[in-house]
Amino acid sequence: MRKPNSLRRTWAFVIAACILYLPANMLPVMITSSFPGEQQHDTIMSGIIYFWVSGSWAVAAVIFIASFVVPLFKLAVMILLLITVQRRIRWQLLQRAKLYRVVEVIGRWSMLDVFVVSLVTGLVQIPGFVEVHPGPGIAAFAAVVILTMLASMSFDPRLLWDAAEQDSGAPA
């Protein structure tokens, strides 16, 4: 069964995710309040830099890949798929179908940051000494992840093959 209005819905989700990608990476994802009234606002990139400088390169790499590269990759792939489908481009059909499957599979794993911030804010609460609160960036980041998941779910991958079928004379 075909997904009605697949392109329109997918474009809407992708555009919304692209708009929220900037605040997700520029706004603080975690706000740490400590004694005596000091506050530290951490973005995704400041967390990556902190772990890198402190020698935790593996942690920095995981955060960089999961929080920065993967969402950007998912958005780029979805935009590529949408443009090639709309222009009925037959280029690399099998590879584009595989890219779509990769985006579907990695979609859930992008919530890793949201879970980490939730865990830290729940565990690190010592009133009067240290308190950790989620920042507005984590809401934007969660929205990007959810919107990219909705985009991949609303995309009809059979549209990739429609141009090839029409060119070969097969019934659509």
Share of the chain above pLDDT 70, in %: 88
Does residue 16 carry a pLDDT above 90? yes
How far from the centroid of its chain's Cα atoms is residue 38's Cα?
Answer: 31
For the chain, the domains span 6-27+42-156
Q: pTM score, two decimals?
A: 0.85
Helix (H, G, I), strand (E, B) or coil at 39: strand
pLDDT category of residue 23 using cuts at 50, 70 and 90: very high
Predicted confidence (pLDDT) per residue in 124-163, tens digit: 666 767 788 889 999 999 899 999 999 999 999 988 888 6
Predicted confidence (pLDDT) per residue in 58-104, tens digit: 888 988 988 889 999 999 999 999 999 999 888 888 898 899 999 98
pLDDT category of residue 172 using cuts at 50, 70 and 90: very low
Q: What is the C-alpha separation between 107 and 150, in angstroms, rounded?
A: 9
Q: Strand pairing of 130-134 and 30-34?
A: antiparallel
Q: Do you find a cis peptide bond into 127, omega within 30 degrees of 0?
A: no
Q: Give the Cα-Cα-Cα angle 124, 133, 113 (nearest 5 degrees).
A: 85
Residues 35 and 130: beta-carbon distance below 8 Å? yes
Predicted confidence (pLDDT) per residue in 139-150, tens digit: 999 899 999 999
User: Which residues make Cβ contacts (< 8 Å) with residue 2, sequence separation at least 6?
Assistant: 156, 158
Which of the residue ranges 8-12, 13-17, 21-25, 47-51 would you say has the lowest mean pLDDT? Answer: 47-51
Q: Strand pairing of 38-42 and 30-34?
A: antiparallel
